[in-house]
């Protein structure tokens, strides 16, 4: 007997076409629209809590839709850590956190406990394969421009075993074309390009409204510690940022370091952003390494081209990564994901750049 599959339905084209593709092979499905408390007010829900465009699309797909309220879980597991990371002068990656703790955490639990589903499908462009030993492996999506395996590197074996990615073998263009062919494009909402819970990507405004945040002017110093200007609040900056510094020099300045305790940012010229390595903590190994030293490719942010590197596992199970070629703007708080060709070996959190 085939197991029931729940599919997360946001209202975007990816989740809708995922549902369509899944229905070609799965007869027992339920759509789940989960509420975070940060939904777009321009698309209010209907009487059953489902946004009207999504309800109409689900009717076309002959797919029942249930609503799950995860406002509390989203606030405590995603938003609160996001704010806390910024308070520490780091740049968070909330999508990686959300996938591990909400989509394949609280939402998967709800799918199982409330709707008797064994697995959950999402619109991620990635693939999961099971090897001969029964271990689940995470593989890049077929579309190199849209591959989202980076955001899934913190998933456990149990979570990967419950994950279904119908779009893994397709390109984004193929999915858009399919939506038009099926007439589902008229129901889809625009894709969110940045953090889903921050309206219009206004990070500074969002942070200033959070408890504990106080945007105060402070010093901008160069790499020698000399004060060369002022800023209007450290939380408006991230490592490698050029915009907003506004200090004239022979070449452009970039943010090299952020010290929220001292309310200070350090800037440098572009060459000063290069690092020989990175220290990574909280590592989740999807494929446990056989040795404590090995070679792998490492991606230090989503749009970063993977860098050939030497990996060194330390006694505390954190990792030192030594790049074959120096990499720019290593950013504490972001995810570091380890690859062997198209396969994700594991992932962790960037702690600090290394420059011996």
Query: Would residue 98 show up in a list of annotated catalytic residues for this protein?
Result: yes
Angle CA 13–14–16, to nearest 5: 65
Tokens of 138: 């995470």
Residues 68-104: pLDDT tens digits?
Answer: 999 999 999 999 999 999 989 999 999 999 999 999 9
Active-site residue identified among 26, 95, 98, 268? 98
Q: Give domain limits for the chain.
A: 5-195, 214-268, 273-354
- Is 275 among the annotated ligand-binding positions? no
Q: What is the third-level CATH fold of 5-195?
A: Rossmann fold (3.40.50)
Query: Would residue 95 show up in a list of annotated catalytic residues for this protein?
Result: no
Confirm whether 5-195 and 273-354 share one CATH topology.
Answer: no
Three-state SS at 15: helix
Tokens of 40: 């777009």
- Is 14 among the annotated ligand-binding positions? yes
Domain 273-354 has CATH 3.40.50.720: no
What gap in Å lies between CA 66 and CA 149, rounded to an integer? 27
- Is 16 among the annotated ligand-binding positions? no
pLDDT at position 1: 40
Residues 212-266: pLDDT tens digits?
Answer: 788 899 999 999 999 999 999 998 899 999 999 999 999 999 999 999 999 999 9
CA distance from start to end of the chain = 58
- Is 10 among the annotated ligand-binding positions? yes
Active-site residue identified among 26, 95, 196, 268? 196
- Is 15 among the annotated ligand-binding positions? yes
Instruction: Specify the pTM.
Output: 0.93
Pairing mode, if any, of strands 335-340 and 293-299?
Answer: antiparallel
Residue 336: CB atoms within 10 A of its CB come to 28
User: What parts of the chain have a pLDDT lower than 50?
Assistant: 1
- Is 123 among the annotated ligand-binding positions? yes
pLDDT at position 39: 79
What gap in Å lies between CA 38 and CA 74, rounded to an integer? 10
Superfamily of domain 214-268: Adenine nucleotide alpha hydrolases-like domains (2.30.30.280)
pLDDT at position 197: 86
Crossing angle (nearest 10°) for helices 52-61 and 13-23: 20
Three-state SS at 342: coil
- Is 9 among the annotated ligand-binding positions? yes
């Amino acid at each position: 007997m085939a197991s029931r599959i729940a599919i997360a339905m946001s209202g975007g084209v990816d989740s809708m076409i995922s549902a369509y593709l899944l229905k070609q092979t799965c007869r027992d499905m339920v759509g789940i629209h989960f509420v975070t408390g940060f939904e777009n007010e321009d698309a209010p829900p209907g009487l059953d809590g489902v946004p009207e465009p999504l309800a109409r699309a689900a009717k076309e797909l002959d797919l029942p839709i249930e609503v799950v309220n995860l406002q509390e879980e989203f606030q405590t597991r995603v938003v609160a850590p996001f704010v806390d990371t910024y308070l520490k002068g780091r740049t968070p990656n909330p999508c990686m956190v959300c996938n591990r703790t909400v989509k394949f955490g609280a939402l998967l639990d709800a799918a199982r406990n409330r709707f008797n589903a064994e697995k959950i499908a999402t619109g991620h462009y990635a693939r999961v394969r099971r090897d001969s030993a029964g271990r689940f492996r995470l593989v890049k999506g077929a579309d190199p421009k849209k591959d989202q395996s980076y955001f899934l590197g913190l998933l456990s074996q149990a979570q990967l075993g419950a994950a279904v990615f119908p779009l893994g073998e397709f390109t984004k263009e193929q999915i858009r074309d399919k939506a038009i062919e099926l007439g589902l494009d008229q129901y889809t909402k625009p894709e969110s390009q940045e953090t889903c819970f921050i309206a219009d990507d206004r990070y500074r405004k969002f942070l200033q409204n959070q408890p504990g945040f106080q945007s105060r002017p402070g010093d901008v110093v160069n790499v020698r510690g000399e004060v060369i200007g002022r800023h209007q609040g450290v939380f408006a900056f991230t490592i490698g940022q050029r915009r907003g510094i506004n200090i004239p020099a022979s070449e452009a300045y970039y943010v090299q370091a952020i010290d929220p305790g001292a309310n200070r940012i350090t800037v440098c010229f572009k060459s000063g952003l290069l690092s020989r390595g990175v220290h990574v903590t909280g590592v989740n190994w999807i494929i446990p390494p056989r040795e404590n030293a090995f070679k792998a490719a490492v991606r230090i942010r989503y749009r970063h081209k993977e860098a050939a590197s030497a990996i060194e596992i330390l006694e505390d199970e954190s990792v030192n990564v030594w790049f074959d070629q120096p990499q720019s703007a290593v950013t504490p708080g972001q995810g570091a994901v380890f690859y062997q060709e198209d396969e994700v070996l594991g992932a962790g959190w960037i702690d600090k750049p290394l420059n011996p």
